[in-house]
Structure formats: C-alpha cells, structure tokens
Amino acid sequence: MSVSVGLVGLGYWGPNLARNLLRSPNAELRWLCDLSTELHDKHRPGFPDVRFTTQLEDLLADDTLDAIVIASPVPTHHRLGMLALEAGKHTFIEKPLALTAADAQELVEKAEAQDLRLMVGHLLEYHPAVLRMRDMIESGELGDVLYAYSHRLNLGQFRRDENALWSLGVHDVATLMFLLGDTPVEVGARGESYVHDGVEDVVFGDMKFAGGTMAHIHLSWLDPHKVRRLTVVGSQQMAVFDDMETERKLTIYDKGFSRSGNPEGSGSWGEYVAKREGDISIPHLPADEPLRLEVEHFLDCVATGATPRSDGRDGLRVVQVLEGMQRSLENGGTPTQLETPAGV
C-alpha cells in the first residue's frame, strides 16, 4: 500500500523529510505546506508533481490523504498535530513532540481515541549504530550498564525560540532512554545564556534512571568542537557512538576491571581489582541513512497499523524528562524528582 502524505514546514529540516517521502516507493507525496510562498518557489523545481499551499486546511480537507508530517517550529507542534489528528490523519511530528507534557499527553490521547498512528521524530532511534548498541545492551554483551554520557556540541546555530536542552538535548534524552529501556526518576540541569538572554546555550544535565544507571549530557552551541558522541560504560565492555565519524560510528572497547584472586591472599586491595584492556573493535553497520529508515518506519506503521518505535508515548516520556530538567535549570540545578516513571 502506498501511503498518501502531506508535509507541513519547509524551513531548515522539512525539505529533508520531503525528499525522503518523494523517493520512497511506499509514499505518495501529495502536498507541501508552508506559510512562506518564497519557500514554495524555492522548492517547486524539486517537487514538480506536488501541490504547494500556505493552508493546512487544504491537507485536512483532502479525504484521500492518509498522513501528515509536521516539521514546523516546536511551539506549533501541539496545535497542528491536534488539527491533523482531529481530521483523521496519521501524524508524524518532529522532535520534541510538544513543549509541555500536558500538550504531549493530549496528542497521545487524541491519537489513541482515533486509532491513528502518532510518531515523533526521535531520529537517533533509527540510527544503525544506536540500534546495534541497543542490541549489545539487551544481549548482555556490554554487561551491566554502569553509566553513560553524551556530548552534543557545536558553534551555532544559536536559536532564540528554544534552548539547547530542548533543541539538542531531546536527542540525547530520547537515545539514552531508548538504549537503556528505562526512564529517569531524578533529573538535574544547570545552564547559562551567553548569547541570547534567557535562552540557555550551554547546558549540563544529569539523569538517574529507575534501574540505577546514571547519565550525563553536555549540550552547547558555544564550543570550539563539533562533537556528537555518546559513551556507554558497561561492566564487560564499553561502547562509543560517534556520529561525526564516517566509518567508525560505533567502537567497542573490551575494557574494564575484574576482581581477581583472593583478597585475603593478595598483598593489597589494588592488586585484587585488576584493570582489563582487550581488543578495540569497529562493527560493520548497514550504510542506511537514519532519516530514510525513520520515514520508512512511519509509512510502514501507517500501512500495517503497527505501533511506531518512537510513538506518542515515547515522545511524551521524553517531554516529561525535558520538563523536569527545565525545572531544575530554573531552580539553579536543584534536582527534580519525576513522579511516575512516566508510563502515562
């Protein structure tokens, strides 16, 4: 079945989604919608058979349209998403799902009441390196996950409408929750606004997961390095996902420590805990583009009725964590307890 789709938002990110929809054998891209007619003119040559409009209503009123993909600014996600769902369209919303957990919850409930697929663009949940890392965690190859940390750093692009936590951190929070299959119970964050007043461009965040794992995220638009790296330290092996690498996206270090010998018989406690340094390996990963995989997954879920991997509930859990971190950010770093491990 070919899914008929309309896309909203042709700014920085939307055209990437539109290109993947156009190329997919499983989609028929019918509409491209943006308030800016200049953007219509810019993109019309690349999409000669697609109708352009400034009116979301045109998509909502098209009875032949199965699904709507929303790549508009985050403050519009809730309103546009609700309109799409109310019109009976399966809906993909870029990350984060909404600006508040209450708004995200409303989207989830509307999708469930209408029996429609709701998916959020947590892109890294479709990255082959992240999927391999998750397999290694689930199969026990890494051992017990002791802790994890990630860096998402760059110089610019300075945003005015959302801080580094909501713009960048959403990727790390979603990825860590996906990898660990767990939800934080306590979060904290500190940040500063060096470029635009009131918009934190540098954020250090912490999470304590229900299962005990601790995680740290460092986010910045004001850094000399371009870094997108996530490290998971297990009791058996350690894994590093480096998205700036072309061929070595995932590196596995057979490193750690082991308790060897009998403490009674050894000379000191230091000898008893032995450092272990084994092979360093680089698994071969499929060369699939995560964005293509994400788009295909959405189309497949619409066609088959399957629940998306990054469904509305996943989106809601991530927004709950971001909201908790934002509260901590506003309270000088005081940790926030998250009530329910956000199961909704």
Ligand X SMILES: NC(=O)c1ccc[n+]([C@@H]2O[C@H](COP(=O)([O-])OP(=O)(O)OC[C@H]3O[C@@H](n4cnc5c(N)ncnc54)[C@H](O)[C@@H]3O)[C@@H](O)[C@H]2O)c1
Residues of the shown chain interacting with ligand X in the complex, contacts defined by CB under 6 A: 8-14, 33-36, 39, 56, 71-74, 76, 80, 94-95, 121, 123
Which residue shows structure tokens 């909201």?
323
Residue 342: both structure tokens together: 């956000």
In the complex with ligand X, the residue whose CB is nearer, 27 or 71, is: 71
In the complex with ligand X, the residue whose CB is nearer, 22 or 83, is: 83
To the nearest 10°, report the CA torsion of 25, 27, 30, 32. -100
Which 8-state DSSP code applies to residue 117?
-
Half-sphere exposure of 8 (CA within 13 A, CB side): 26
In the complex with ligand X, the residue whose CB is nearer, 145 or 299, is: 299
In the complex with ligand X, the residue whose CB is nearer, 42 or 276, is: 42
Work out how close the CB of 256 gets to ligand X at its nearest, in angstroms, rounded to a whole number. Answer: 33
In the complex with ligand X, the residue whose CB is nearer, 83 or 233, is: 83
Among 61, 82, 81, smallest CA distance to 71 is for: 81
Q: What is the DSSP string of 268-326?
A: -HHHHEEEEEEEEE--------HHHHHHHHHHHHHHH-PPPTTBHHHHHHHHHHHHHHH
In the complex with ligand X, the residue whose CB is nearer, 36 or 281, is: 36
| Contacts of residue 255, Cβ cutoff 8 Å, sequence gap at least 6 | 237, 238, 276, 277, 278
Work out how close the CB of 15 gets to ligand X at its nearest, in angstroms, rounded to a whole number. Answer: 8
- Burial status of residue 38 (CB atoms within 10 A of its CB: 0-12, 13-18, 19 or more): exposed
Which residue's beta carbon is nearest to the bound ligand X?
11
Work out how close the CB of 259 gets to ligand X at its nearest, in angstroms, rounded to a whole number. Answer: 42
Work out how close the CB of 71 gets to ligand X at its nearest, in angstroms, rounded to a whole number. Answer: 5
Work out how close the CB of 26 gets to ligand X at its nearest, in angstroms, rounded to a whole number. Answer: 20
Work out how close the CB of 247 gets to ligand X at its nearest, in angstroms, rounded to a whole number. Answer: 21
In the complex with ligand X, the residue whose CB is nearer, 59 or 142, is: 59
Work out how close the CB of 80 gets to ligand X at its nearest, in angstroms, rounded to a whole number. Answer: 6
Q: Which segments of the chain does DSSP mark as H helices, in order? A: 14-23, 37-43, 56-60, 77-86, 101-114, 128-139, 164, 170-180, 269-272, 290-304, 312-330
- The CA distance from 217 to 209, in Å, is 14
Q: Are 123 and 95 in contact (CB under 8 A)?
A: yes
Residue 242: both structure tokens together: 């480096």
Work out how close the CB of 60 gets to ligand X at its nearest, in angstroms, rounded to a whole number. Answer: 11
- The CA distance from 129 to 127, in Å, is 5
Work out how close the CB of 223 gets to ligand X at its nearest, in angstroms, rounded to a whole number. Answer: 18
In the complex with ligand X, the residue whose CB is nearer, 35 or 214, is: 35
In the complex with ligand X, the residue whose CB is nearer, 38 or 63, is: 38
Which residue shows structure tokens 């329910």?
340
